[in-house]
Amino acid sequence: MLPPRTDLTRDLAEWLPRQRWFGAKDGDIGDVSVGAATELRAGDPALHHLVLDVRRNGVPDRYQLLLGVRRHLPDRLRHVEIGGTPEARLYDAAHDPELTRVLLDALAGGASIGPLRFHHLDGARIRTDLASLPITAEQTNTSLLFGDAYICKLFRRLGDGVNLDLEVNLALTRGGCAHVPAVRGWIELEPGPDGAGPVTLGLLSDYLYTGADGWSLAIASVRDWFAHPPPPGDEWAELDASAAGGDFAAEAERLGAATAQVHRALGDAFGVTVIPAEEVRAMAARMHAELTATCRSVPGLAPHARALTAVFLDLAAQASPLTVQRLHGDYHLGQVLRTESGWALLDFEGEPARTQSERRALAHPLRDVAGMLRSFEYAARFLITKAGTVPTESGPHLETRAHAWAARNRAAFCRGYAAAGGPDPAAHSVLMHAFEFEKAVYEVRYEARNRPAWLPVPLKSLAHLIT
């Protein structure tokens, strides 16, 4: 049984700001209320699904919480305790495998419990005998591993309507795309009285247990390259990153090919359209406006503003009708897995700092390509930002190494992408530069707000790209 609402919301107001996935750490919570509470399991332990309405500075947000209730809380769950009374201890039940198995049961049975709807893909058989383990590295969501079979992503902060990750992955699964984990089921909140569509709460997919994420593989390659003996004398100017044993270029090329194949599958699933030149010019104007605003808030970008502006103006001057479609939207090395059968793409939610309408906007496929090229720049310089992780070469020499690694893998990715039928980045240089610089401006703004120690990464890479 739940405690009185006033006691529960008081405990939640204290607990929420300490959670990594809570998006309002930079301001006081004005009000927390329970918008919906659904009992999923009675007894001890009990499981309740809560939809929380949180207001901060007058701005509303919704979050979901699996709330566990136990008379005696075991030590293994102390770290996720929320509060409660001596007779009813409250905690985040996403960390309790005894209770999360309820989700598998409901998904397998296609259950409807209160306003919650549990769906499984037609023909999909879901095992219900698996214990869960939360992935602790995630920030904006919480994912549960069920054995080595499934991964269930719980969307902590709830948007309106169908989540993009479900919408895109479901369409690609139904289309037979081999480069995404197959969707098994999903959880949603039924439409409210305002007539709005169902809200996505969770997504169950196959778990690619043999996969290694692209970021980790790339960082291992960079580390090997940094450890490679330095060239003699003045040979730094012609440094060749292929000399290192942990060369990543072949994988980058295969990743480019997989990306082109997923783009083609997205076009087949959602359609392709053409926007007129006027919309391309408007897009260029938005890019320039973001640059201007970011220069005001991050002075370190200002020295590059003239060169970036020239690229955006060039895009506007050469504007012509442009083919657009659905994309990944937040494409980088952390969103891909290398498995035994090839590369797989994950997390189609779009950039976290963008609005829902911006995330859903159609764009040219090279926008995703630009995102991955920027990720190679990040991987090349990540170790430089961490003291003690690289050899004690001078700063300029390390930057030369980073540039050589990034250039080699960027070229390999673009080569694989074009060979697999994607638009050749080399044949669309103006558009390609504009997308990449737009992404760099976004990165500068994001790092300045969230990870100031990383700010030199996008700024240093710009120095090479604008020459």
**Predicted local distance difference test score (pLDDT) of residue 277:** 98
Question: What tens digit of pLDDT does each residue of 272-283 get?
Answer: 999 999 999 999
Question: What tens digit of pLDDT does each residue of 256-270 get?
Answer: 999 999 999 999 999
CATH class, domain 212-465, is alpha beta
Amino acid in position 102: V
**Model confidence, pTM:** 0.89
- Domain extent listing, the chain: 5-17+26-91, 98-206, 212-465
Phi-psi region of 266 (alpha: psi -120 to 50; beta: other; left: phi over 0): alpha
Question: What tens digit of pLDDT does each residue of 374-399 get?
Answer: 999 999 998 887 655 555 555 678 88
Is residue 80 helix, strand or coil?
A: helix
| Sequential pLDDT tens for the chain (467 residues) | 666 666 899 999 999 988 988 876 555 677 899 999 999 999 999 999 999 999 877 778 899 999 999 999 999 999 999 999 988 999 999 999 999 999 999 999 999 999 999 999 988 899 999 999 998 776 789 999 999 999 999 999 998 889 999 999 999 999 999 999 999 999 999 876 665 679 999 999 999 988 899 999 999 999 999 988 887 766 666 678 888 788 999 999 999 999 999 999 999 999 999 999 999 999 999 999 999 999 999 999 999 999 999 999 999 999 999 999 999 999 999 999 999 999 999 999 888 777 888 888 899 999 999 999 999 999 999 888 765 555 555 567 888 889 999 999 999 999 999 999 999 999 999 999 999 999 999 999 989 988 898 898 899 888 777 76
DSSP string for 255-308: HHHHHHHHHHHHHHHH-EEEE-HHHHHHHHHHHHHHHHHHHHH-GGGGGGHHHH
Q: Which residues contact 374 (CB under 8 A, 6 or more apart)?
A: 332, 436, 439, 440, 443, 458, 461
CB 424 within 8 A of CB 418: yes
